[in-house]
Structure 1
Amino acid sequence: MRLTDDDIAVIRHVAAHRFLRSTHIVSLLRRPNKKVLERLSALYHNGYLDRPRAQLDYYATAGSAPLVYALGNKGAALLAEQDGTSFPKVDWTWKNRDAGRVFIEHTLLVADLMVAIETAVHRVGNIALIGAVDILKAAPTSTQNAKNPWALPARIVHGGMHYDLSLIPDKIFGLDYLDLRKRSYFFVEADRGTMPVTRSHPRQTSFQQKILGYLAGSRPVNTHAQHFGIGNFRVLTVTTTRERIATMVAALKAVTNGTGSNQFLFVDRPSLLASSDVLSLDWTSGKNEAVLCA
């Protein structure tokens, strides 16, 4: 198979996101749908891309849906040769086969947001996307050398208890406003509605516990930003419904003396997918106000 520049771009996109739907790839390439689907099929049948088995088992009973693609062995070898990309020494066919549907769907929810951000930034032209890899390259040496550089340590004080936890955002990115010489940074949380928003015991896993973790590393201490050597940050949460957003905002207000916080922004997936421009989309702030994310 003779690879085109678009083919190589597809492989890079899939490698960067771990899993992408065909619709994501069409948006990223800005090419006709039919042409992209034909090339995706060719890349799959020639081993550059893979189709996770979990989605095929699911779609066999759930009806048709855009196919999900993952990196194939030949795709990983190509990027290692062309870009010097370092990948774990694994059989990608087996790695993708072991990926469960819950993990795939969670990863795709992150991709829903990040693809929307990337396409919006390209359309605007005067904003540049700062990826997680570039953020880590500019981070303090202690962060770069950490066992898990993405983990954010936090000391929680809540419900009469003091305890430590480690937060790992689902994605980290920044926006560079080229004309304004200004940068904004974001931690992403993808919520599929499976985690309780609140729990009776403070140390039980909940979304409110994540909120407390982010608040613990915010101003005035700002340790989460210092961890990456960045300025202030906001937390973007993509969840399932507007009703669930309301419960999250209530949980945030419950731990901030009823004031909430504009550091947290929420959007439901249907609204995200229906929007043609995520940068002009109304998000719900932690004060229950309609705001823009950027």
Structure 2
Amino acid sequence: MNHSKKNSGHKNNYTSLRLSKIDLRVLEWLCIFGYMSTNQIAQARHLGTDSRGQHHTARRAAQRRLLQLTKMGVLRRIEQPVYRGDRSGSKPYLYALGAGGAEIVGAELGVDRRDIAWQPSSAERNFIFMDHILSIVDYRLALEQACHSHGVILETFIPDRILRRDPVKIMLGEDESTSKSVAIIPDAFYVLRLPGQPEKVARCLLEIDRGTTTITPRFWDQRGHRQKVKAYLALAESKQLQEYFETESLWVKFVTTTQQRLQSLIEATVLAGGDHRFWFTSMDQLGRNVLNEPIWQVAGRQAEWHTVL
């Protein structure tokens, strides 16, 4: 494969680069999510294939290609900061689109250049912000691999950075005098469809809980978990659920840090009026099949573990 660049005057013509379908898949994912780790990119490169036992080989191949694309200006490599007291040592590189990647995505995938975030941002040094994004990517990878295993079509997956551009808003409060407008921005909205069965469609809202949200806020707290549950319940009773997400059935999937946190979230959900429409699992379960293995607990039905399929 020829990876040489052609120049037009003093301007790089990135669109003349010969990129593989795998390269373009990585660029598309980075356009959607903004950032990915080396391991995540290695997984994304081999989605839909049986790469069991080839983890190290896939990672090394991804590292070599990422280095090439970074030197070309297609990608931008980000070194994660190591803070005082962190004994884990150096952290793996993260990658984002570079100027060349943004140009290629615009040309090859038809994305408006103004909608492509490729320039460095101060948020890249915010550990909580970056960790949250990487958790959404982890879920997408687990979901897509499970879909491939069972012939399920992942028809749509829209992360929060896109949903935030036009958030759904509802009025929440005890009465008109205390009601306030609340924006609902799930961490992702996705659609699953069974092939050959057009009526078998699941539209799901994803919430990644990293333990930074107050579970039972003492005062009115827009970031509190119970507040979030009440907002979703209000959404389920409104016309906006159909208008924004094209469904009449609310289904919210929470992925949290630990089993202890999971149980606390379920208890708070039930106290807020939540029911079987709220499902929960922990991040350590994402290595299993998220569709057909019993890794989910359901609000109000905690006695059993559930599967999606």
Q: Which of 238-247 and 33-42 deviates more?
A: 33-42
Quote how far apart the aligned CAs of 1:161 are: 5.4
**Cα distance in 2, alignment partners of residues 36 and 100 from structure 1:** 25
1:13 maps to what in 2? 29
DSSP 3-state at the match of 1:293: coil
**Cα distance in 1, alignment partners of residues 128 and 148 from structure 2:** 30
DSSP 3-state at the match of 2:220: coil
2:12 maps to what in 1? none
1:283 counterpart (276, 291, 296): 296
Q: Quick one: which amino acid aligns to residue 5 of structure 1?
A: K
DSSP 3-state at the match of 1:252: helix
1:141 maps to what in 2? none
DSSP 3-state at the match of 1:78: helix
2:244 counterpart (217, 227, 237): 227
Correspondence 1:165 to 2:175: no
Question: Does the CA-based 8 Å contact 2:222-2:228 persist in structure 1?
Answer: no
**Cα distance in 2, alignment partners of residues 25 and 6 from structure 1:** 10
Correspondence 1:177 to 2:194: yes
**What CA deviation, in whole Å up to 9, does each residue of 1:124-143 have, x standing for no partner?**
2243332339xx9xxxxxxx
**Equivalent runs, 1:1-294 vs 2, <5 Å:** 1=3, 2-30=18-46, 32-53=58-79, 55-57=80-82, 62-88=88-114, 92-95=118-121, 98=124, 100-132=126-158, 148-157=165-174, 162-181=179-198, 182-219=200-237, 221=238, 223-256=240-273, 260-272=274-286, 274-275=287-288, 277-281=289-293, 282-287=295-300, 288=302, 289-294=304-309
Does the C-alpha gap of structure 1 residues 23 and 61 become closer, same or farther in structure 2, counting only changes over 3 Å? same
Point out where structure 2 has 5 or more consecutive residues left out of the alignment: 4-17, 52-57
**What CA deviation, in whole Å up to 9, does each residue of 1:184-226 have, x standing for no partner?**
111111111011111112345311111110011114x463233
Does the C-alpha gap of structure 1 residues 99 and 80 become closer, same or farther in structure 2, counting only changes over 3 Å? farther
**What CA deviation, in whole Å up to 9, does each residue of 1:36-91 have, x standing for no partner?**
221112112221112234x1445996324443211111101101111211133788
Question: Does the CA-based 8 Å contact 2:75-2:98 persist in structure 1?
Answer: yes
Does the C-alpha gap of structure 1 residues 157 and 248 become closer, same or farther in structure 2, counting only changes over 3 Å? farther
DSSP 3-state at the match of 2:247: coil
Question: Does the CA-based 8 Å contact 2:152-2:192 persist in structure 1?
Answer: no
Does the C-alpha gap of structure 1 residues 241 and 123 become closer, same or farther in structure 2, counting only changes over 3 Å? same
Does the C-alpha gap of structure 1 residues 247 and 98 become closer, same or farther in structure 2, counting only changes over 3 Å? closer
Question: Does the CA-based 8 Å contact 2:157-2:188 persist in structure 1?
Answer: no
**What CA deviation, in whole Å up to 9, does each residue of 1:79-104 have, x standing for no partner?**
11112111337883423775522211
What's the TM-score once normalised by structure 1's chain length? 0.82
Quote how far apart the aligned CAs of 1:10 are: 1.4
DSSP 3-state at the match of 2:30: helix
- Root-mean-square deviation (Å): 2.9
Question: Does the CA-based 8 Å contact 1:28-1:119 persist in structure 2?
Answer: no
DSSP 3-state at the match of 2:43: helix
Does the C-alpha gap of structure 1 residues 107 and 278 become closer, same or farther in structure 2, counting only changes over 3 Å? same
Point out where structure 1 has 5 or more consecutive residues left out of the alignment: 137-143
Question: Does the CA-based 8 Å contact 1:185-1:231 persist in structure 2?
Answer: no
Q: Quick one: which amino acid aligns to residue 52 of structure 1?
A: I
**What CA deviation, in whole Å up to 9, does each residue of 1:203-251 have, x standing for no partner?**
45311111110011114x4632333323423111111111111111111
Does the C-alpha gap of structure 1 residues 91 and 29 become closer, same or farther in structure 2, counting only changes over 3 Å? closer
Aligned length: 275
DSSP 3-state at the match of 1:186: strand
Question: Does the CA-based 8 Å contact 1:193-1:239 persist in structure 2?
Answer: yes
What's the TM-score once normalised by structure 2's chain length? 0.79
* More helix per residue: 1
**Cα distance in 2, alignment partners of residues 168 and 199 from structure 1:** 19
2:11 maps to what in 1? none
